[in-house]
Amino acid sequence: MLFVVSWAEIAHAQSPQYVDSLQGEIKKFDAQKKDKNTSDLKDSFKTIILYQLSRAYWGNSADEALKYANQCLELSKKIGYKRGIGNAYNSIGVMNFYKGNYPMALEYYQMSLKKRIEIKDKNGIAGSYNNIGNVYSTTGNYLLAFDYYYKAKKINEASGNKQFLSINLGNIGDIYLAQHNYTEALEYYLYRDQIAKELGIPKEIASSCEGLGAVYKKMGNYEEAMGYYTKAIKINKETGNKNFLANNIAGVAGIKQAQKNYAEALKYHLQALKMFEEIDDKNGLATTLIDLGRTYAMQHQLDEALKSATRGVSIAKEIGAKEAVKDAYEILADINGKLGNYKAAYDNQVLYKQVYDTIFNTENQKKISLLKMQYDFNKKEATAKEEQYKKDAAATQKIQKEKQLRNSFIIGAILLLVIVLVLINRYSLKQKSNRELSVAYDNLKATQQQLVQQEKLASLGALTAGIAHEIQNPLNFINNFSDLSQELIEDIKTATTEAEKNDLFNDLKFNLDKIHTHGKRAEGIVKGMLQHSRKEENIKSTFGVNPMCDEIIELVYQNSLINTPDLTCTIEKNFAKALPKINGVHSDISRVVLNIVANAFYVVKDKADGKIIVTTSADEKQLSISIKDNGGGIPEAIKQRIFEPFFTTKPTNEGTGLGLSLSYDIIKAHGGDITVKSEEGVGTEFVIGLPLS
């Protein structure tokens, strides 16, 4: 398997114009420093530019990226700028990761994390967690990788950073793909694809396409996989990211190999190999050499196969990439067997089994499932606590108001008793009526405030969609210049001479000029984005249900065959002709059908006469999708609980209990409904109803 690396702090292959503009900023700072005596704060601006320059070379030139990262580190240490030190450590870690020096990458990532925790940089902390997870994932320690990815996911969900969350989802999907859990992997990739389209960032869309291409390739749906890889290649050629482009090309080579088109596979393997050598990506180099050896072996070019696979396993062992080492031992065993080197073939088969057992074992998979459930439970529990806190606060406020009203009533009653006993009864009735009106008014006001708040949130979500990527660079300048200006104000307060104050005021004016310049730049970007935005385009679309169901049935069937090779199941498709199209979120509806079809295959996997019937139909108001199986059925005692979150009848390591709960929420959000009919010992039928208008 070719592991595709994603970073939490996005690596953009920037244009030469962007690099030139950054280098121009450095020249301006250096020139001004020669003209007048400037403070160390001015040097902190330079560290920001140096870090941006280092990032600009991620994915294209490790040497250039390291050069600027080291300059950033040296200057940041000199002036004691913690943010700059943390950023520099991060960039050096990324480049060591690129070069396959995973112990060194891990060390720098951990040093970066420490600095970012010191300055409470939440986005930076999430980025470091994600990068540490990449090291563990590439070296085959999926349990630790999963833990760090979910730590990053928790921060990004809380901060609403969809760009970083998208990458977390892709990395978690990579783990499930490596564990051969294709259904779960597809869920994460589809979720990531949805966010990538909402953001509209080409780099994110390309990475999403690459992930979907990888899972469809593993599931044997080569046509679908090829479509996604082709789209990713087109985008990465336009952005100029050589690393991601090389990964895409290697993915196409794998498809051609699986289709037994060895000449084409060889061409793409060699193209990817050349690109990985150019950018010095050791992991990509190792995996491509091993896959190239497999292609040579299939063409019976055994000497070339042995040479390529041997070189690949040497690099993989050097960098500690267990997944690549496992694949290398497997192909070396095959090659040596064909060459008649039976002892070498046996030795490599033994080594393959040893590495395989360390990566894929039931205990680890169970721990990953439990860890996911624990994170999901903690998230749900935190939400419930927050809601309960709000309810308690509202209840306390209500009690206080009632107490105040009661006290007022008592005082009033005493005064009225003193004045005139005759009016007590009438006054009491009037007070009661006033209390009821007061409570009704408070409820009406609270409801009004809630509706206004919901409307504000909806407007805010629509406004921010798609702008995150393009506005990131000017915002980086604005944020950093603002932070440094605050520090400068503190220095002005403690300045002892007029000359010192004048210098500091000049520096502050310089900062404000920069903030103004980049603020105007951001303003122009926002105006341009809003003029061309179409907020619904990437959310809902019109599509046909029959092709979607047909694709999902085939997809799940192939996956079921992988997990249950002796599966015997009859699939009956009763698709209505001339079925009207529906308007909705394609990925969400697909996810619902995928969950229910996967459950159907699960319950018939052990039956000799398993049968699944999928039927589509429509009337004037509603389109229906029926998924029926002849499994064991659902006991009457638990039928009412199947849509509850975390309720499942599957073993601990085979289900989380979230599939049907999420499916129910998705269909309700589309204005539809899910119903279930089941008879114990006979089978189950789920019916999805979706409105046509």
| Model confidence at 687: pLDDT above 90 | yes
Q: CA–CA separation, 229 vs 244, rounded Å?
A: 11
Local confidence band at 12 (pLDDT 50, 70, 90 cut-offs): very low
The angle subtended at Cα 454 by Cα 643 and Cα 205, nearest 5°, is: 70
Q: CA–CA separation, 424 vs 374, rounded Å?
A: 61
Q: Among 185-199, 214-228, 363-377, name the one with the lowest average pLDDT.
A: 363-377
How far, rounded to the nearest angstrom, does the alpha carbon of residue 513 sit from its chain's CA centroid?
Answer: 37
**Secondary structure class of 679 (helix, strand, coil):** strand
**Secondary structure class of 686 (helix, strand, coil):** strand
The angle subtended at Cα 102 by Cα 99 and Cα 104, nearest 5°, is: 95
**Element (H or E) spanning 613, and its range?**
strand 610-618
Q: CA–CA separation, 165 vs 154, rounded Å?
A: 9
Q: Shortest CA distance to 251 belongs to which of 282, 226, 273?
A: 226
Q: Shortest CA distance to 483 belongs to which of 522, 513, 516, 511?
A: 511
Tell me if 170 sits within 8 A of 156, measured CB to CB.
no
First-residue to last-residue Cα distance in the chain: 45
Q: Among 27-41, 102-116, 434-448, 522-536, name the one with the lowest average pLDDT.
A: 522-536
Please report where in the chains the tokens 């009207």 appear, as a residue. 580
Q: CA–CA separation, 194 vs 176, rounded Å?
A: 19
Beta bridge partners of 690: 623
Q: Among 436-445, 472-481, 485-494, name the one with the lowest average pLDDT.
A: 436-445
Strands 610-618 and 569-575: parallel
Q: Among 140-149, 377-386, 596-605, name the one with the lowest average pLDDT.
A: 377-386
Local confidence band at 611 (pLDDT 50, 70, 90 cut-offs): very high
Local confidence band at 655 (pLDDT 50, 70, 90 cut-offs): low
**Element (H or E) spanning 575, and its range?**
strand 569-575
CATH fold for the domain made of 17-139: 1.25.40
The angle subtended at Cα 620 by Cα 619 and Cα 626, nearest 5°, is: 30
Beta bridge partners of 687: 626, 675
**C-alpha distance from residue 607 to each of 91, 604, 610, 652 (Å):** 54, 5, 5, 22
Q: CA–CA separation, 667 vs 672, rounded Å?
A: 5
Q: Which residues contact 93 (CB under 8 A, 6 or more apart)?
A: 104, 105, 106, 107, 108, 109, 112, 131
Q: CA–CA separation, 255 vs 229, rounded Å?
A: 10
Tell me if 341 sits within 8 A of 347, measured CB to CB.
no
Tell me if 6 sits within 8 A of 167, measured CB to CB.
yes
Strand order across the 673-679 sheet:
569-575, 610-618, 622-629, 683-691, 673-679
Q: CA–CA separation, 304 vs 287, rounded Å?
A: 16
Q: Among 304-308, 449-453, 455-459, 493-497, name the one with the lowest average pLDDT.
A: 455-459
Q: Which residues contact 487 (CB under 8 A, 6 or more apart)?
A: 41
Tell me if 89 sits within 8 A of 269, measured CB to CB.
no
pLDDT of amino acid 365: 53
Local confidence band at 253 (pLDDT 50, 70, 90 cut-offs): confident
Handedness of CA 262, 550, 207, 100 (dihedral sign): negative
* Amino acid identity for residue 208 in this structure: S
| Model confidence at 404: pLDDT above 80 | no
pLDDT of amino acid 686: 96
Tell me if 313 sits within 8 A of 336, measured CB to CB.
no
Local confidence band at 601 (pLDDT 50, 70, 90 cut-offs): very high
Does residue 160 come out as left (phi exceeding 0), alpha (psi in the -120 to 50 range) or beta?
A: left
Q: CA–CA separation, 295 vs 581, rounded Å?
A: 43
pLDDT of amino acid 462: 31
Q: Shortest CA distance to 549 belongs to which of 376, 686, 403?
A: 686
* Amino acid identity for residue 650 in this structure: K
**Secondary structure class of 670 (helix, strand, coil):** coil
Q: What is the mean pLDDT of the chain?
A: 78
- CB count, 10 Å around CB of 527? 9
Tell me if 539 sits within 8 A of 585, measured CB to CB.
yes
**Secondary structure class of 534 (helix, strand, coil):** coil
Q: CA–CA separation, 171 vs 185, rounded Å?
A: 10
Tell me if 54 sits within 8 A of 76, measured CB to CB.
no
**What is the number of alpha carbons within 13 Å of residue 648 lying toward its C-beta?**
18
pLDDT of amino acid 612: 95
Task: Enter the DSSP assignment of 497.
Answer: S
pLDDT of amino acid 383: 58
How far, rounded to the nearest angstrom, does the alpha carbon of residue 288 sit from its chain's CA centroid?
Answer: 26
Tell me if 310 sits within 8 A of 302, measured CB to CB.
no
Q: Which CATH superfamily is domain 281-359 in?
A: Tetratricopeptide repeat domain (1.25.40.10)
The CATH number corresponding to 541-691 among 3.30.565.10, 3.90.1150.10, 3.20.20.100, 3.10.180.10 equals: 3.30.565.10
Q: CA–CA separation, 665 vs 671, rounded Å?
A: 10
